[in-house]
Amino acid sequence: MNVDNLVGRRLGRMMPESNRVLEAVLGRKESLLQEDIAAHAQEIRRQVRSSRVLVIGAAGSIGGAFVKVLSKYSVAALHLVDISENCLVEVVRDLRSSGISLPDDFKTFAVDFSRPEFEALLNTQSYDFVLNFSALKHVRSERDPFTLMRLLNVNVIANESLLRSLDGGATKHVFSVSSDKSVRPANLMGASKALMERVFLAHADRMPFTSARFANVAFSAGSLLDSFQHRLLKRQPLSAPNDVKRYFISHEEAGQLCFLGCFLGKNREIFYPQFRQEQDMLSFAEIARLVLRSNGLEPIECDSEAEALEIAGSLQDSSTQWPCFFSGSDTSGEKPFEEFVDPRETADETRFAKVGVVTKPVFHGTEGVRDALAAIKDALSRGTWTTAELIDAVRLGVPELNHVATGKNLDQKM
């Protein structure tokens, strides 16, 4: 079969129906958070009006969604930073082509926020609000000590450097996105986000801070749901765990959650979406079936990767069935369910209709944070380290990390 024809056929089929596919996955047509956005519109405008805003990681799935939400309000300055030059260009083109009115002081900078170029930028500009969406977000990043160190460097060390750069300046509020995986973490990605939260909490007396813990953002870049679309385009099987359940939100909802957290949150608060566990939590296998059926396809559930690959190799343009392989999770760091609040934390689920707020996050004190940072930096400065050493370093600040190594990582699965 001609791949170009398949791509064109699939794009022609999927693009007009993308909203329908998303609605099938989410189980709703309207934004989960629209009621809260509308109810607090006046307060939001008061906070945002005439502010100077810096968005780091602005070209990522969540950062870009936040920028779209923010662009509906009048800000004095909007500056975007992202390491990806091409993706940043596309963000600008999308904003301009959408007819969005941008402030006169609108600028983009293709720099890495962990590098000296970014620090030099901060020396020339002042901002009321600084938001950071830059992060390594995959559990698979712990598969080797080198990628793991980059994860810790981006998710933790660079955020501490950001705070030091902002200390004593004009910035009145900083926001950095977290993850549901930070709660009682079972993997190092989640633990890095827990440590990130505590780095900001350690500085919160001098720099007010809020955050948001996410559900899975449906079809965000690099996500399993995003991979389903790629697999369809490339005539490849769908593969997913059948025993891992997650909540899902849209890009718009992710941007709105961060928007509420940044502009309505009080110092040290962490926002999260409120769901009904039984109705809203779905397994990835269930999501795969929904995606296929929303695209007019029926899943063929195979007993092995080999069988799924064999069937995929014989697919025709007229095929109405699609091979899938669903299996139990057996890789390191997988948590079977999603949670947004640690039992030791205090949360308020009455302030908003669909948003909960952790008002008192878990924080073991500045000493553990300081020791964890020092251990990670020491390993980095030596130029040699092991995964075990980094796990021990992270546990200094996140003692509840319950990391179980199975000897298998996601790169070893389809």
Using H for helix, E for strand and C for coil, what is the string for 352-391?
CCCEEEEEECCCCCHHHHHHHHHHHHHHHHHCCCCHHHHH
Q: Is the pLDDT of residue 232 over 50?
A: yes
Please identify which residue in the block is written with the tokens 């369910």.
Answer: 337
- Contacts (Cβ under 8 Å, ≥6 apart) of 348: 356, 357, 359
Query: For position 200, what pLDDT does the model report?
Result: 98
Number of other CB atoms surrounding residue 188 within 10 Å: 26
Identify the CA nearest to 308 among candidates 235, 402, 222. 235
Percent above pLDDT 70 for the chain: 92
N- to C-terminal Cα separation, the chain: 22
Q: Considering the chain, what is the average pLDDT of its residues?
A: 90
Rounded CA gap, 53 and 317, in Å? 49
- The secondary structure of residue 253, as a DSSP letter, is H
What is the phi/psi pair of residue 107, to 5°?
Answer: -140, 155
Count Cβ atoms below 10 Å from residue 60 Cβ, excluding itself.
24
C-alpha to C-alpha distance for 401 and 306, rounded to whole angstroms: 35
Burial class (CB in 10 A: 0-12, 13-18, 19+), 342: middle
> Which range has the worst mean pLDDT, 190-194, 339-343, 409-413?
409-413
Is residue 84 pLDDT above 70, yes or no? Answer: yes
Query: Which pLDDT band holds residue 60 (cuts at 50, 70, 90)?
Result: very high
pLDDT of residue 316: 87
* Residue 30, phi then psi, degrees to nearest 5: -100, 155
What is the DSSP secondary structure assignment for residue 140, as one 8-state letter? G
Mean pLDDT of 21-39: 90
Give whichever of 1-15, 221-235, 293-307, 326-340 has the largest mean pLDDT. 293-307
Does the predicted TM-score (pTM) go above 0.85?
Answer: yes
CA distances from 143 to 130, 325, 328 (A): 31, 23, 19
pLDDT recorded at residue 127: 97
Q: Which residue has the higher pLDDT, 316 or 389?
A: 389
Coil, helix or strand for 107? strand
Cα(236)–Cα(244) distance, integer angstroms: 22
Structural tokens at position 376: 């990670």
Q: Residue 179 pLDDT > 70, yes or no?
A: yes
pLDDT category at 384 given cuts 50, 70, 90 is very high
